[in-house]
Amino acid sequence: MDEPQTLIDKMWSAHAITRREDGAALLWVDRHYVHEGSFHAFTQMHERGGAVAEPALTFGIADHYVPTRGRGGRIADPDIAAMVRTLEKNTTESGIKLFGLGDPRQGIVHVVGPEQGLTLPGLLIVCGDSHTSTHGAFGAYAFGIGASEVAHVLMTQTLWQKKPKRMRVTVGGKTTAGVGAKDIALAIIARIGADGAQGHAVEFAGSAIAALSMEGRMTLCNMSIEAGGRCGMVAPDATTFTYLRGRPYTPRGTAFEQAVEAWSRLVSDPGASFDREVMLDANMIAPIVTWGITPDDALPIDAHVPDPAGETDPVRAKYLREALDYMGIAPGKKLTEITVDRVFIGSCTNARIEDLRAAAAVLAGRSSKVPGLVSPGSTTVKRQAEQEGLDRIFRDAGLEWADAGCSMCLGLNGDLVPPGERCASTTNRNFRGRQGPGARTHLMSPAMVAAAAVTGHLADVRPLLAGRAP
């Protein structure tokens, strides 16, 4: 009998073309996403006299640098304007479909791919962005690659890779009110550390994962990178198939039913062996926020930040002192006593319609005590939010309603947190200066960001949800 295989094993075997003596395999790439930051790879391709091997399998998206405010006119920053024009030129010359600034489907690549039905179970997907792992929520094998690898994929539609180790994170039980996918992700990262999944492809499983929407699963797989994982994935199921049915690039009719039959086999076999297993109980997970400078500096909202004086490991104590100093937080301070200067709702982690609804449920009829920006994950999401009246809730609360793009997640387009200011953010990284030089970032769910907005400090969202739809 054949040895039981994990989902990761099945995906690897399905895409491996040949192997080298060093163990690396040449993998076939089913989908390749490029953005305006991919110009380096196109330059490398042109310098080698190459051409795009499979234009129909590559899709361009303008998202990383594009302005999210004042859109419609000329881009003020000449460098960004040049990058957007270069993406348009490269994709046009290569016959690549582009979701550009003038396209009603434009948005963040990791939002647009799934909502257009380009991201499908069983596909191997790459993009020059680390959070390509987001697409693993559909049972795809998806990961980020560097500029030279992007050039290789453009010219060959293949990529050399060494097979990662296999890790399964099982989250059993059921989450309580006010706890969502972002809290699960931060709880996992806090448990295993920012490098706890290093060298591994992570499969998420368990009743709490099965109960997540596709938006929630995308948030979870997106954050697998912050645990050091090569990628994250969830086996496709009825929730996946319902989400995909009828989307523009999804198979139709009989072809869809046949696809579902094949996709249903993309599961880990009973008895399949993983290199590492981690288990969490969803019932024990509370709303979580980060206090420091890496995503694993995360604690339940009712906790206190660490005190270096109580740390016996001198290396750890030194790290705590430096992190607290950068964040401007006194040792041992209660998390709910930490004030914020502004809020941000957006990014490839939490800017889908479900995320905006969660934040709006808290903000409705209330005012934000601090300024803030809401940037939907795509123009499609923006239209839907406006049809539902969510934009009015954000505006009435005093927050700015922007266009789609990566925005304040990494501050490449001018949406920045001023030096020294503290931001409650739905993004995925709280590194030093991530949202701007000297910026101090606290990661949390959209609902928790909304709670911080209406209270002016880090706050437990659960009391604010009493009597409201989650």
Residue whose C-alpha is closest to residue 334's, from 304, 297, 310, 307: 304
Strands 31-34 and 124-127: parallel
Q: Which two tokens stand for residue 388?
A: 């539902």
Question: Hey, which residues does 457 pair with through a beta bridge?
Answer: 339
State pLDDT tens for residues 125-184. Answer: 999 999 999 999 999 999 999 999 999 999 999 999 999 999 999 999 999 999 999 999
Angle 117-68-80 from CA coordinates, rounded to 5° = 95
The yes-or-no verdict on residue 448 having pLDDT over 70 is: yes
pLDDT value, residue 76: 87
Q: Where does the pLDDT of residue 2 fall: very low under 50, low under 70, confident under 90, or very high at 90 and above? A: confident
Residue whose C-alpha is closest to residue 289's, from 460, 464, 462: 460
Give me the domains of the chain, ranges plus CATH numbers.
Answer: 7-276 (3.30.499.10), 288-465 (3.30.499.10)
Average of pLDDT values for 255-262? 98
Angle 428-184-357 from CA coordinates, rounded to 5° = 70
State pLDDT tens for residues 57-68. Answer: 999 999 999 999
Average of pLDDT values for 72-99? 94
Please state, in angstroms and rounded to a whole number, the distance separating the CA atoms of residues 317 and 223: 26
